[in-house]
């Protein structure tokens, strides 16, 4: 399986669930703090290959959610300037493996690229058990 550099926001439950799915699928995940990285436009841009500028942004970031930043109105250059200045705006996770990069968690794209174990996405955990026995949180009951 693949070794994946996984840039996440520490404490983000969604990123924790995504990392757990990758690990349950047999991948080695090297988690990194997305907010602590020193991002440049040159380093960040390849993660967004093939995506429209608006999809580069975390729609839940406060400045985006409040409408202070309108990603759909930005050029690529202006977007990269904002994203490198304020990493909280970056769509998560950022993943890198085998020379390829990806932004965001789209299970079909991740599966096509890295391979995911069947039945792990989407789901809701019943909360009636612990998750240190190999059971991935979020994988016990399909929505």
Active site amino acids: 12
Contact 14, 105 (CB under 8 A): yes
Q: How far apart are the first and last CA of the chain?
A: 28
- Please give the C-alpha separations between residue 38 and each of 33, 34, 41, 44, in angstroms, as whole numbers: 10, 9, 10, 10
Cβ burial 7-29 (10 Å sphere, 16+ → b, else e): bbbeeeeebbbbbbbbbbbebeb
Tokens for 127, please give them.
Answer: 């909360």
Q: What are phi and psi of 40, to 5 degrees?
A: -120, 165
């Amino acid at each position: 399986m693949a070794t994946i550099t996984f840039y996440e926001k520490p404490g983000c439950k969604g990123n924790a669930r995504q990392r757990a799915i990758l690990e349950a699928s047999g991948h080695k995940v090297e988690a990194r703090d997305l907010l602590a990285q020193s991002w440049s436009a040159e380093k960040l841009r390849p993660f967004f290959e093939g995506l429209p500028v608006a999809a580069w942004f975390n729609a839940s970031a406060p400045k985006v959610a409040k409408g202070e930043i309108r990603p759909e109105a930005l050029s690529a250059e202006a977007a990269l300037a904002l994203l490198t200045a304020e990493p909280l705006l970056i769509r998560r996770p950022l993943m890198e493996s085998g020379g390829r990069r990806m932004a965001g968690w789209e299970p079909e794209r991740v599966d096509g690229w890295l391979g995911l174990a069947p039945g792990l996405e989407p789901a809701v955990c019943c909360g009636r058990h612990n998750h240190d026995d190999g059971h991935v949180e979020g994988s016990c009951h399909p929505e």
